[in-house]
Amino acid sequence: KAGVTQTPRYLIKTRGQQVTLSCSPISGHRSVSWYQQTPGQGLQFLFEYFSETQRNKGNFPGRFSGRQFSNSRSEMNVSTLELGDSALYLCASSTGQGPYEQYFGPGTRLTVT
């Protein structure tokens, strides 16, 4: 079974621009969660989508948004990029039910200059 894939793997953007990251979950998984990883703040939860609906949301500003498509693929968008948005963005896939475990993709490394 193929694992979680994220595209692109690396991205460099300029402050003020917007960016869209993509995540394809494991086949059959209906939940996709997004996390931001930085050296200072560690791993922080952004949001979770389950069956195309946002089920949970972390404490990030509205510049961070996401969506999930009918095939469970998910996108995350960050508008008006700030230098502090530079991070590794990880997506995790799970069945979304029961005591499920989350399987992580390799991440997208975003650098904002």
Partner 1 sequence: GDSVTQMEGPVTLSEEAFLTINCTYTATGYPSLFWYVQYPGEGLQLLLKATKADDKGSNKGFEATYRKETTSFHLEKGSVQVSDSAVYFCALRGSNYKLTFGKGTLLTVNP
Q: Which is nearer to partner 1, 50 or 64 (CB)?
A: 50
Cβ-contact 64, 54 below 8 angstroms: no
Quick one: which of 103, 110, 112, 113 contacts partner 1 (CB under 8 A)?
A: 103
Q: Specify the residue for token string 């948005």.
A: 85
Q: How far apart are CA 87 and CA 37, in angstroms?
A: 6
CA distance 28 to 94: 9
If one asks whether residue 26 binds partner 1 (CB under 8 A), the answer comes out as: no
**30 touches partner 1 by CB under 8 A:** no
Contacting residues toward partner 1, per CB under 8 A? 4, 31, 33, 35, 42-43, 45, 48, 50, 55-56, 58, 90, 92, 96, 99, 101-107
